[in-house]
Amino acid sequence: MQVIDAIKNAKEMMLSLEITPPNKGTHINDLYETLDTLMPFKPKFINVTYHQPQVVYEEIDNVIYRIP
């Protein structure tokens, strides 16, 4: 079944989740623990979305530095 079909045929409100993979150097278990807390809501779909790594900036002494 495609997402659009589930939406069209839904007889009541449904929940879907959109998650992003964990950042490099972090643990997948953190994501699993978060999902475990949401599963009682019975989401119909869980979409995994990948975004390009974010550029992080930090201001130190009124100078903005790019954090690699």
Residue 66 has what pLDDT? 79
- Give the structural domain span for 45: 3-67
Token pair listed for 10? 């839904």
Question: Residues in the chain, how many?
Answer: 68
Digit-coded pLDDT (tens) for 4-51:
888 889 899 999 999 988 877 888 998 999 999 999 999 988 988 876
- How many independent structural domains does the chain possess? 1
Q: What DSSP element (H or E) covers 4?
A: helix 3-9
More confident residue, 55 or 45: 45
pLDDT of residue 64: 86
pTM for the whole structure: 0.59
- Given pLDDT bands bounded at 50, 70 and 90, which one contains residue 52? low
